[in-house]
Amino acid sequence: MQMKKMWRFQFTPVFDHKKTNRAGIVFLITLFPVFLSTSLYAQGRPPANVVVSPVVRESIQDEILLIGTVESWRTSQVATEVSGRVEHLAARRGDKVKKGETLVTLADSSLLLQLKESRSKQNAAIARLEKAKDNLKRSEGLVKEGLVSERVYRDAKLTVEELKQTLAVNDAERLQIEDALNKKKVFSPFDGIVTQELTEEGQWVETGGSIVQLVDLSKVRILIQVPEKFIREVKTGGTVSVHIDAMPDQGFTGKVHAIIPSGDRESRLFPVEVHVENKELLLNEGMLARVAFGLGTPRPALMVEKDAVIRKGSEAFLFVAEAGKAMKKIVTPGRGKGGRIEVSGDLKEGDVVVIRGNERLQEGRDIKVVPLSSE
């Protein structure tokens, strides 16, 4: 009988504890997560929750950003017109005052006595004048009857004129005293904020002495030095964007008030004054301001939310939501405008891009669009 030839195979395990060294063990352990990950991918992952926003077309303009300092619209060292001792300092540093509000009161007791004396003199002069008028009238009748001489009449008439002059002088003195009394109170010349106290209660101030420093911040001015090559792009009355470092989340709108036509000969910089309304008094004197001047003609551009753009090294990209999947698009960022940024690339108006949940997205990953609050 012919015997069938038997083949014998010997299997030698790769992971032989007698032959495997430490490097081999490390290699196998390193590959294990890869095998596990591949298995999970094979089973499929749930879609990633994302928030999306559309690509929009807006008009933007190139701009230059320059730095300036916020200055008050008006600053005044309020002074007194008369001398005297400070009796009451009504406005202190940091106080907001209205136009016509009392800032300081000077002692007025001596003037009150002078006013009382002046009024007494005036009343006496009025009484004498009335008596002199009666004498003049009587003398006039006696002259006509020939009972007194013309000289008596002329003397009576002269007395009336002298008393009228005396009364006028007394009246002028009284008005001066009353005016000085009124000036013993110093009033605010405009709505503002007290930034310095330049005197104190009990202190003597001379005529013209400063009382407080007052600033008007209802409007502020910003002085910016504009380079020569851009000065022609700046127009008086033009609108500019103003950003304050102390308030990064809030923007302001300013207006070019004046372009000073006298530049620095060495730096070739020209001063430009910008005015900003500040009714809510958010802007304070001395703040750093960044002013954006528009350059050239506005142009249309595709804009996306700034959070849509991801930067890794020199590459910038975003994810477009297409048929429930995240599709990676390489883009070139441009100018920013508010919370949006200009992008160019394989995009069109109306495309929907991911703005939340895009940090760990991968090309082709299933996505589920959710509201912003549900992210």
Q: Are strands 367-369 and 48-54 parallel, antiparallel or unpaired?
A: parallel
Tens of pLDDT, residues 177-232: 887 888 889 999 999 999 999 999 999 999 999 999 999 999 999 999 999 999 98
- Would the pTM count as exceeding 0.85? no
Amino acid identity at 348: K
Write down the pLDDT at residue 18.
Answer: 47
Write down the pLDDT at residue 44.
Answer: 61
Give helix 109-145 / helix 150-182 axis angle, nearest 10°. Answer: 160
> What gap in Å lies between CA 154 and CA 359, rounded to an integer?
111
- pLDDT mean over 317-332: 94
Tens of pLDDT, residues 89-108: 999 999 999 999 999 999 88
For 263-276, letters b (16+ CB in 10 Å) and e give beeeeebbbbbbeb
Write down the pLDDT at residue 38.
Answer: 43
* Range of lowest pLDDT (142-156, 289-303, 327-341): 142-156
- pLDDT mean over 27-33: 48
- pLDDT mean over 29-49: 57
Write down the pLDDT at residue 120.
Answer: 79
Q: How far is CA 273 from CA 216, 255, 293, in A?
A: 17, 9, 12
* Range of lowest pLDDT (141-150, 197-206, 330-339): 141-150
Domains of the chain: 48-60+300-374 (2.40.420.20), 63-73+216-297 (2.40.30.170), 108-182 (1.10.287)
Q: Percent of the chain beyond pLDDT 70?
A: 85
Q: Return all residues near 72 (Cβ < 8 A) that are at least 6 apart.
A: 215, 216, 217, 220, 221, 285
Q: What ranges make up the beta strands (E) of 159-287? A: 185-187, 192-197, 204-205, 210-227, 239-244, 247-259, 269-277
Among 162, 80, 175, CA closest to 119? 175
Write down the pLDDT at residue 72.
Answer: 93
Write down the pLDDT at residue 133.
Answer: 80
C-alpha 250 chain-centroid distance: 10
Amino acid identity at 362: Q
> What gap in Å lies between CA 250 and CA 253, rounded to an integer?
10
- Give the tokens for residue 49: 């929750």
- pLDDT mean over 311-326: 93
Could you tell me the pLDDT band of residue 66, with boundaries at 50, 70 and 90?
very high
Q: Which residue has the higher pLDDT, 195 or 63?
A: 195
Are the CB atoms for 84 and 207 separated by under 8 Å?
no
Write down the pLDDT at residue 26.
Answer: 45
Q: Which residue has the higher pLDDT, 35 or 314?
A: 314
Are the CB atoms for 332 and 343 separated by under 8 Å?
yes
Tens of pLDDT, residues 256-292: 999 998 888 888 999 999 999 998 999 999 999 999 9
Q: What's the angle, vertex CA 154, arms to CA 153 and CA 155, rounded to 5?
A: 90
Amino acid identity at 63: E
pLDDT(352) > 70: yes
> What gap in Å lies between CA 168 and CA 265, rounded to an integer?
63
Write down the pLDDT at residue 10.
Answer: 46
Dihedral of CA atoms 45, 47, 48, 51 in degrees, nearest 10, equals 180
